[in-house]
Amino acid sequence: MLIGTCHCEAAHWTMTGDPGPVTACNCTLCRRYGALWAYDFEGGDDGDGRIRLHGTTSAFTRMGSRPSLEIRFCPTCACVLCWRGLSLDPDGRRRMAVNVRLAAPEAVAHLPIDHFDGLDSFDDLPRDGRCVRDLWF
* Tens of pLDDT, residues 72-111: 999 999 999 999 999 999 999 999 999 999 999 999 999 9
Cα atoms found within 13 Å of the Cα of residue 124, Cβ hemisphere only: 8
Rounded mean pLDDT, 110-134: 91
Q: What's the pLDDT band for 117 if we cut at 50, 70, 90?
A: confident
What are the residue ranges spanned by the domains of the chain? 2-136
What was the pLDDT predicted at 45? 61
Strands (E), the chain: 2-5, 12-15, 22-25, 37-41, 51-54, 58-61, 69-73, 80-85, 95-99, 113-117, 123-125
Rg from Cα positions in the chain: 14
Question: Is residue 9 predicted with pLDDT exceeding 90?
Answer: yes
What was the pLDDT predicted at 47? 56
What was the pLDDT predicted at 103? 97
Rounded mean pLDDT, 125-137: 88
Quick one: 1 exposed, middle or buried, by C-beta within 10 A (0-12, 13-18, 19+)? exposed
Quick one: 18 exposed, middle or buried, by C-beta within 10 A (0-12, 13-18, 19+)? exposed
Per-residue model confidence as pLDDT tens digits over 28-76: 889 899 999 999 999 966 557 899 999 999 999 977 667 788 999 999 9
What was the pLDDT predicted at 48? 76
* Domain 2-136 part of CATH 3.30.750.24: no
